[in-house]
Amino acid sequence: MKLLKTKQALLITIITLVITTVCNAQQGTVSIHQDEEITRLLELKKEINTNEDASDRYKIQIFSGRRGAAETQQDDFKNAYAQWSSKLVYETPNYKIWVGSFKSRLEADKALLEVKKKFPNAFIFKPKIKKEL
């Protein structure tokens, strides 16, 4: 009787091993087929998100005045704060230096604290949307 039970146990073990080696349920390949338009749209979205001229972003103005002085201030800013871009803008009758392009007011406030160390008259604003006729 004992011999019969060990033969059954051995047979069950062999059958289990054979079944587990034959069944490879964890293997497979995944292929993704997506429309080329999706890739193009994602690139367009990235471009829109990095657009510095977006009107919904906050900027910091560090100077308003004559052109020569504005260019000097812009050079000083570039030397002191390379991490933020600067832009010389003409709004009659003054030239203005706008820096950064911040998605949130919190980001702009953090940057303003740093910028005010060198440019104490700096302030945060949101550019007005220019409507084209």
The parent domain of residue 105 ranges over: 53-125
pTM for the predicted model, two decimal places: 0.59
Residue partners of 74: CB distance under 8 A and separation at least 6: 63, 86, 88, 97
Q: What is the count of structural domains for the chain?
A: 1
79 assigned to some structural domain: yes
1 assigned to some structural domain: no
Is the pLDDT at 121 greater than 90, yes or no?
yes
103 assigned to some structural domain: yes
At residue 112, the pLDDT reads 96
70 assigned to some structural domain: yes
26 assigned to some structural domain: no
At residue 94, the pLDDT reads 94
Burial of 108 (0-12, 13-18, 19+ CB in 10 A): buried
pLDDT in tens, 70-95: 999 999 999 999 999 999 999 989 99
133 assigned to some structural domain: no
76 assigned to some structural domain: yes
Q: If you count them, how many residues does the chain have?
A: 133
59 assigned to some structural domain: yes
Mean pLDDT of 22-40: 78
Is the pLDDT at 23 greater than 90, yes or no?
no
Mean pLDDT of 38-63: 80
Is the pLDDT at 68 greater than 90, yes or no?
yes
CATH number of domain containing 113: 3.30.70.1070
Phi, psi of 54 (to 5 degrees): -60, 135
